[in-house]
Amino acid sequence: MFSIFDEFKDAWRKPNNGLAQLIIINIAVFVIFGILLVLGKIPALENLLPAVYKQFTIPAPIGEFLTRPWTIITYAFAHSLNDLWHILMNMLLFYWFGRVFVDSFGSQKLINLYVLGAIGGGVTYLLAYNLIPFYADRATMFSGMVGASAAVYAVSVAAATYFPDYRFYMLFFGAVKIKYLVAIYIFLSFIGSVGENAGGNLAHLGGALVGFIYATQLKRGYEMGRWVFRIMDFVKSFFVKRSTIKVTHRQPRGTSSVSGGATKKPLTATASQAEIDKILDKISGRGYDSLSKEEKEKLFNASK
């Protein structure tokens, strides 16, 4: 029987599916926290949820953060269990704006930007609560921060920067340009930076700045998140078997490799194993249509 687990596996098999994968990870973490919350009612397991949740919570004091630096990223995959609206709105906004971004730039760039936005939001949060007196005085008043909002803001602002006139059709308002929607979100976060959720709103602004910088650099042909892909590729190399396609070149019978002192060139484009692996990774991240004519030819020849 086709189970829900098979559907999750299928999400990782599909190419250019980073948007769905990131949403699934966020929901899965939320569900796990919910299960741990219920199990925590058992006396022997009452400390399980706080211990796990702590590994996803980025603390404000820099000294405490240095004891678990991985939270600069993990916080962006966790949400409050006390407010279902928190994860619901984040994932809806991420889907809407992420769809605009991924349709033009592909799955891998979306993942890269998500990670960069999370880091940008986390760094902004840490700097504010350790360097600005207004926030530093309040740093010990809460346990830390969770939420994908900074990463979502990064994607939203990048999409609005690159496609400012893209329109969303909204109930009661009709067609609204993306640049106006994002401007409203940024302004609300700016106001909220001195409110009850000051840390979260500061992270929004940090993520938004990263999204703007990312999009402007992308316009100039520079992709800031390539290092994210390289790290992911390195980690995947331990779990995913590489392609076993081997490429060789054989000359037709009766021909010589040397004629008149010059070596004949192959009539078709060939590629090394490393090049084939790189092409396959590109298909996985951005789809077959992202390949150049030469790359398609190399892949075709390698598959013979």
Per-residue pLDDT of 258-277, as tens digits, reads: 444 444 444 345 566 667 76
pLDDT at 169: 84
Superfamily of domain 4-230: Rhomboid-like (1.20.1540.10)
pLDDT at 265: 42
Residue type at position 10: D
167-170 and 174-177: which strand pairing? antiparallel
The model's pTM is 0.78
pLDDT at 247: 47
Give residue limits of the domains in the chain.
4-230, 267-304
- Low-confidence residues of the chain: pLDDT under 50: 1, 247-252, 254-268
C-alpha to C-alpha distance for 165 and 180, rounded to whole angstroms: 9
Buried/exposed code over 176-202 (b: 16+ C-beta within 10 A; e: otherwise): eebbebbeebbeebeebbeeebbbbbb
First to last CA, the chain: 36
**Phi, psi angle pair for 270, to nearest 5°:** -120, 165
Can you tell me which residue has the tokens 């349709």? 103
Which two structure tokens, joined as six digits, stand for 271? 């590629």
